[in-house]
Structure 1
């Protein structure tokens, strides 16, 4: 059985992928909103193909209008900024120590950052918790 050529052409055009592109300049550390991106019918390898995957995330680098949003240019929004005063928490068994610290980097929930204990000036590594505290361990 032979299929008509028009059926084959329609089938090929139906599998065409789309790419997420910026509609305006998205600055670094800016949250991507729905009006900042759109779907373009072109396929760009390594670019996002769904608006849902990028809306609400934070741009790591500046993206200019008409440019595709590549994988690795967006991440979860940061909850701690550099030099921000944070609460450092150490939990071990039944012992809980909480003190004031200063973030030496910025990051999102789950990221490991360096923090400085304000009272002792000791630099520690910790993981950012959902409530914005930094959890440290030995």
Structure 2
């Protein structure tokens, strides 16, 4: 009886050891299996979304050239792949020129937001001087040239159409390759104070020409006072061209 009992105990102990050993091996095998990692968002797709957003919001037809340089994302940045299309917007305080920042957003179960820098250069054809010009010079077509400039580096008041400058008078001396600004020019004086002028009174169907004296200087379109030499009256008229003042 004792031998049977001892044998039975040995079998039971062997089975228990086998069970524990097998269970431990299974748990160890499960623990050694790699945990599935979520797919990561492609950085290039984020940059591409930002670029497409900027392209869509800049009217390239208004400029001679548009140049956009996108920033880079830190390669250590690990973002879960977005299940929905990425959305882009301009970050607060940014604009579609110069240094700017685009806000990229992912909506979903694990939403995230990232900011990407960019630099936008908007180029335009700006009118500049083709040669040195003196103060008082009346601008002609040969005095002007067109040069492509980055608008982000310019102050306002420049010209892009030479027709807006031809016939204007410089108020200051300019070097060659100078940008002509609005406060550098004026309409030339066509009537000078004390000069004799023709006064034209126009009405429906007829006009009367008289001689007078200009009481002040005037450029085309200026309203000035003139003295009618016949009546000695002082009246107001508009300078039409050199030596001619029109009254209604």
Give the structure-2-normalised TM-score: 0.42
Q: 1:93 to 1:56 in 2, by over 3 A?
A: closer
Question: 2:212 touches 2:227 (CA, 8 Å); kept in 1?
Answer: yes
Corresponding residue number in structure 2 for 1:17: 124
1:61 aligns to what? 171
Q: What are the Cα deviations for residues 46-80 of structure 1, in whole angstroms up to 9, with x where unaligned?
A: 23231424441312512311442212433445543
Across the aligned residues of Structure 1 and Structure 2, the Cα RMSD in angstroms comes to: 3.5
Question: Does the 8 Å contact 1:26/1:64 carry over to 2?
Answer: yes
Cα distance 1:18–1:94, how it changes in 2: closer, same or farther (>3 A)? closer
Q: Distance in 2 between matches of 1:123 and 1:80?
A: 16
**Unaligned stretches of 5+ residues in structure 2:** 1-44, 52-66, 71-118
Kept after mapping to 2: 8 A contact 1:54/1:74: no
Do 1:38 and 1:51's aligned partners in 2 also have CA atoms closer than 8 Å? Answer: no
Structure 1 residue ranges without an equivalent (≥5): none
Is residue 117 of structure 1 aligned with residue 225 of structure 2?
Answer: no
Say which structure, 1 or 2, has more relative contact order (CA 8 Å, 6+ apart): 1
Q: Does the 8 Å contact 1:37/1:51 carry over to 2? A: no
Contact 2:226 2:235 in 1 (8 A): yes
Aligned residue for 1:105? Answer: 217
Q: CA 1:126 to 1:69, structure 2 compared with 1: closer, same or farther past 3 Å?
A: same
Q: Which has the higher helix share?
A: 2
Alignment of 1:83-102 (within 5 A): 83-91=194-202, 97-102=208-213
Alignment length, in residue pairs?
A: 132
Q: Higher Cα Rg: structure 1 or 2? A: 2
- Are the structure 2 counterparts of residues 32 and 80 from structure 1 closer, same or farther at C-alpha, using a change threshold of 3 Å? same
57-66 or 76-85: which moved more?
Answer: 76-85
State the Cα deviation string for residues 75-123 of structure 1 (Å, max 9, x = none): 4455434433222133467885432012231221x32112122234432
Alignment partner, residue 50 of structure 1: 160
Q: Work out whether residues 127 and 135 of structure 1, in 8 Å CA contact, stay in contact via their aligned partners in 2.
A: yes
- TM normalised by structure 1 equals 0.66
Q: 1:34 to 1:130 in 2, by over 3 A?
A: closer
